[in-house]
A and B are shown apart, each in its own frame.
Chain A
Amino acid sequence: MSPPRTILLANVGTRDVQSADGKALVPRDAASHGNTTDTVRNVTLRYLEDYQADPEIRELITAPIIGKVLKTVGAQGGMIAHASLFYTDQDENTATPGHYGNDTVHVAAILEKWLPQMHPDMVGSVSTHRISATDIALSDQMYAYFRNAFLRDDRLRGMRDDLSRPTRFVVSCASGTTGANVGLILAATEFFGEGVVIMHPSENQPQAVPMQIASMLRRQALRLPVQNLLRQGYFAAAATVIDSWNEPATAPLGGASRAIQRWLDFDDHTGLSILTGTVQQAGNVAPRVRTVIDKIAKELGERTSTALIGADRPVADRHNVRPESAKRRFTDLYWSADLCVSQNRLFDLITRVHRLHEAILRWKLRTLLRVKTDDIGTGDKLATRRTFWEKARAKIGTGALPSTVLDQDRSIDIDALILVIDRLGASGLDQMTSLAKHARCVDAVRNLRNKNIHGFEGVSEDEIEKLVAPKIKGLNLADTIGGSGSRALMGCLRGMLAAIDMAPNEKNPFIDLGDRLADALIAVDALENA
Chain B
Amino acid sequence: MAILLLNVGSQDLLGPERDARDPLKGASSSGRIHAQTHFDRLDRGEPLDDVEWPLVSKYLAFTRSEGIHLDRLILFGTDQPGTVVEQFRKGDTIIAAEVLRRLILTHGRDVVGDATVVAVNVDGADRHDRCLDFFRRELPKWRGDDDRVLVAVTGGTPGVNLGLLLAAQATWGDRVEAIGANPSDPAFALDVARQMRVAFQRQPVADLLARGQFATAAEIVRSWHDDRFEPLALATEAIRLWLDQAHNDAHTKVNTAMTHEAPGAALDLSNLLQDLRRDIQALEGEAPVSRETELRRLKDVFWNADLCFRQERHVDFVARMALILERAIRCFIEEVIGHPVPESNNPRKREDFEVALEAGGLSRTEGRGLDYVAFVKIAKDVASNTGRFGADVTARATHITKHADALDKLRQLRNESVVGHRLEAVTPKRVAEYVDAGLQRVFPNDGDPRGVDGVQAAIRAILGGAGDQPTGPNPFLTYGERLSRALLDIPL
Contact = CB atoms under 8 A, between A and B. Distances in A.
A408 interface: no
Nearest to A223: B170
A99 B473 CA distance: 55
A296 B202 CA distance: 31
A458 interface: yes
Contacts of A212: 129
Interface string A147-170: 110011000000000000000000
A346 interface: yes
A355 interface: yes
A529 B137 contact: yes
B246 A228 contact: no
Contacts of B132: 213, 216-217, 220
A182 B162 contact: yes
Interface string A444-483: 0000000111111111101000000000000000000000
B204 A225 contact: yes
Contacts of A140: 178, 190-192, 195
Given A178-B161, A221-B170, A318-B422, A202 B124 contact: yes
Nearest to A523: B140
A204 B216 CA distance: 47
A190 B244 contact: no
Nearest to A449: B419
Contacts of A454: 323, 326-327, 371
A58 interface: no
B315 interface: yes
Interface in A186-203: 186-187, 189-190, 193, 198, 200, 202
B349 interface: no
Contacts, number: 255
B299 to A, nearest CB: 12
B426 A346 contact: no
B220 interface: yes
Contact of B215 (A148, A174, A344, A376): A344
Given A144-B492, A225-B204, A345-B215, A329 B190 contact: no
Contact of A522 (B166, B171, B249, B283): B171
Contacts of B422: 309, 318-319
Interface residues of A, number: 100
A169 to B, nearest CB: 15
B421 A376 contact: yes
B296 to A, nearest CB: 10
Interface stretch (A233-241, A364-372, A393-401, A494-502): A233-241
Nearest to A321: B423
Given A147-B491, A522-B143, A228 B223 contact: yes
B128 A200 contact: yes
Interface string B197-241: 101111111001001010110011001000000000000000011
Nearest to A149: B491
Contacts of B247: 458
B203 A193 contact: yes
A9 B128 CA distance: 17
Contacts of A152: 491
Given A182-B162, A228-B223, A309 B492 contact: no
A140 B491 CA distance: 14
Given A151-B489, A266-B425, A347-B244, A229 B216 contact: yes
A484 interface: no
B93 to A, nearest CB: 15
A268 interface: yes
A522 B173 CA distance: 10
B215 A348 contact: no
A525 interface: yes
A457 to B, nearest CB: 7
B460 interface: no
A93 B73 CA distance: 38
A148 to B, nearest CB: 5
A507 interface: no
A318 B416 contact: yes
Interface stretch (A31-39, A115-123, A382-390, A419-427): A31-39
A221 B201 contact: yes
A454 to B, nearest CB: 6
A143 interface: yes
Chain A residues touching B, majority SS: helix
A35 B21 contact: yes
A200 B201 contact: no
A225 B200 CA distance: 9
Contact of B244 (A202, A237, A459): A459
Interface string B300-329: 010000000001111110010011001100
Query: Contact size class for B?
Result: 35 or more
A115 B313 CA distance: 57
Contacts of B191: 140
A202 B85 CA distance: 12
A230 to B, nearest CB: 11
A136 to B, nearest CB: 11
Contacts of B418: 265-266, 333, 336, 351-352, 355
Contacts of B30: none
B136 interface: yes
Contacts of A503: none
Contact of A228 (B25, B137, B140, B220): B220
Contact of A144 (B195, B220, B322): B195
Interface in A315-368: 315, 318-319, 329, 333, 336, 343-348, 351-352, 355, 358-359
A343 B215 contact: yes
B22 A32 contact: yes
A309 B423 contact: yes
Interface in A232-264: 232, 234, 236-237, 240-241, 258, 261-262
Contact of A333 (B88, B137, B423): B423
Contacts of B491: 147-148, 151-152
Given A147-B492, A200-B126, A522-B140, A221 B196 contact: yes
Contacts of B139: 526
Given A309-B422, A346-B246, A224 B128 contact: no
A226 to B, nearest CB: 8
Nearest to B133: A216
- Greatest chain A CB density within 10 A among B25, B199, B417 is at B199
Nearest to B283: A456
Contacts of A453: 319, 322-323, 419
A455 B203 contact: no
A351 B319 contact: yes
Interface in A13-54: 32-35
21 contacts: A140-B195, A143-B195, A147-B491, A182-B153, A186-B200, A224-B169, A224-B200, A228-B173, A265-B314, A265-B418, A267-B314, A267-B426, A311-B425, A318-B416, A333-B423, A355-B418, A355-B419, A453-B319, A458-B245, A462-B249, A523-B140
Instruction: State the 6 A-B residue pairs at the shortest beta-carbon distance, nearest first.
Output: A221-B200, A458-B245, A526-B140, A267-B425, A140-B192, A223-B170
Interface of A: 32-35, 96-97, 137-140, 143-144, 147-148, 151-152, 173-174, 178, 181-182, 185-187, 189-190, 193, 198, 200, 202, 204, 209, 211-213, 216-218, 220-225, 227-229, 232, 234, 236-237, 240-241, 258, 261-262, 265-270, 308-309, 311, 315, 318-319, 329, 333, 336, 343-348, 351-352, 355, 358-359, 376, 451-460, 462, 522-523, 525-526, 528-529
Interface of B: 19, 21-22, 25, 85, 87-88, 124, 126-129, 132-133, 136-141, 143, 153, 157-158, 161-162, 166-167, 169-171, 173-174, 178, 180, 182, 184, 190-192, 195-197, 199-205, 208, 211, 213, 215-216, 219-220, 223, 240-241, 244-249, 265, 283, 287, 297, 301, 311-316, 319, 322-323, 326-327, 343, 371, 416-427, 489, 491-492
Given A211-B129, A348-B316, A522-B171, 15 more contacts: A147-B492, A186-B195, A187-B199, A200-B128, A204-B88, A213-B128, A217-B132, A234-B215, A265-B314, A265-B426, A267-B427, A344-B240, A346-B244, A459-B244, A522-B143
